[in-house]
Amino acid sequence: MATSATTSAPLIEKHTIGYVPPEDRHGKVRDLFTLWFGGNIAPLPIVTGALGVQLFHLNLVWGIVAILVGHLVGGVLMALHSAQGPQMGIPQMIQSRAQFGSLGALLVVLIAGVMYIGFFASNIVLAGKSLHGVVDSVPVPVGILIGALGSGIIGIIGYRFIHVLNRIGTWVLGIGIVVGFGYILTHIQTDDFLTRGSFNLSGWLATVSLAALWQIAFAPYVSDYSRYLPANVPVAATFWTTYLGSALGSSLSFVFGAVAVLATPVGMDTMDAVKLATAAIGPLMLVLFLLSVISHNALNLYGAVLSLITLVQTFAYRWIPTAKSRAVISIIVLLACCFAAVGASADFIGHFVDMVLVLLVVLVPWTAINLIDFYAIHKGQYDIGSIFQVDGGIYGRYNPQALLAYAIGIAVQIPFMNTPLYVGPVSAHINGADLSWLVGLLVTSPLYFWLATRDSAYRRRLTSGKLANNL
Which sign, positive or negative, has the C-alpha torsion 57, 63, 66, 70? positive
Residue 2 domain-assigned (yes or no): no
The mean pLDDT value for 183-187 works out to 90
- Provide the residue count of the chain: 471
The yes-or-no verdict on residue 230 having pLDDT over 70 is: yes
Output the pLDDT for position 5.
45
Q: How many CA within 13 A on the CB side of residue 350?
A: 4
C-alpha angle 200-205-207 in degrees, rounded to nearest 5: 95
Residue 17 domain-assigned (yes or no): no
Residues 6+ apart with CB under 8 A from 446: none
Structural domain containing residue 73: 25-463
pLDDT digits (tens, 9 = 90+) for 27-70: 889 889 998 998 888 888 888 899 899 888 999 999 999 999 99
Output the pLDDT for position 349.
55
Q: What CATH number does residue 170 fall under?
A: 1.10.4160.10
Residue 219 domain-assigned (yes or no): yes
Output the pLDDT for position 11.
64
- Given a contact cutoff of 8 angstroms between Cβ atoms, the answer to whether 164 and 26 are in contact is no
**Quick count: other Cβ atoms within 10 Å of Cβ 303?**
27
Residue 469 domain-assigned (yes or no): no
5-14, 116-125, 313-322, 459-468: range with highest mean pLDDT = 116-125
Residue 314 domain-assigned (yes or no): yes
pLDDT digits (tens, 9 = 90+) for 380-406: 889 888 888 888 888 888 899 999 999
Residue 134 domain-assigned (yes or no): yes
Work out the pLDDT band at 468, boundaries 50, 70, 90: very low
Output the pLDDT for position 465.
45
Residue 4 domain-assigned (yes or no): no
Output the pLDDT for position 263.
92
Residue 375 domain-assigned (yes or no): yes
For residue 162, the SS3 value is helix
Total number of domains in the chain: 1
